[in-house]
Each structure stands twice: as C-alpha cells, then as structure tokens.
Amino acid sequence: MSKDIDALDTLDDYSDEEYSAFLEYTQLKDQCMIEPTTLYINDKHEFLSEWEYFAKADGLEIKHTDCETRIC
C-alpha cells in the first residue's frame, strides 16, 4: 500500500510562501538567455528579502530599482 505525499509536506524547513518565492525567482532566472550576473529588483517587490537572499546565494549582484524586477 502506497501513500501519496504532497511535495510541500516534505519541505518542513520552509513555509509555503518561501517556497513560492523560490519557485518564482528560479523561473525568472531560468528565462535569462546568458549566465545571469545581476538581479534588478523593485523596492516594492512582494518577496524582496527572499529574493535578495536567493541572489546572494547565487552570487548575483543586487540592484534596487523602481522598474520591473528582472534577472540578467
């Protein structure tokens, strides 16, 4: 007898919100055609602190902007 386990049930160390922020960040990063070097993040971004953490972990330079958030 097998039991289905939701992916988020196995990620006890992370909240659903943190995991959602990571997925959104990763999706945007994967859209970059070249190796990304910089995160341009809007100061009012919903996941500002989370994305800054992810960018630092990836070795990206972080620049705050009033424009749309992007990674390139």
Burial of 22 (0-12, 13-18, 19+ CB in 10 A): middle
| Segments making up each domain of the chain, as ranges | 35-72
Please determine, for residue 5, whether its predicted confidence score (pLDDT) is greater than 70. Answer: no
Three-class secondary structure of residue 58 per DSSP: coil
> Which H helix or E strand runs over 18?
helix 16-30
From the options 3.30.450.20, 3.30.1330.30, 3.30.70.380, 3.60.15.10, give the CATH code of 35-72: 3.30.1330.30
Split at pLDDT 50, 70, 90, the class of 25 is very high
CA-wise closest residue to 69 among 20, 33, 16, 52: 52
Separation CA 51–CA 45 (nearest Å): 9
pLDDT per residue over 37-68, tens digit each? Answer: 999 999 999 999 999 999 999 999 999 999 99
Residue 43 has what pLDDT? 95
Separation CA 39–CA 4 (nearest Å): 37
Please determine, for residue 3, whether its predicted confidence score (pLDDT) is greater than 90. Answer: no
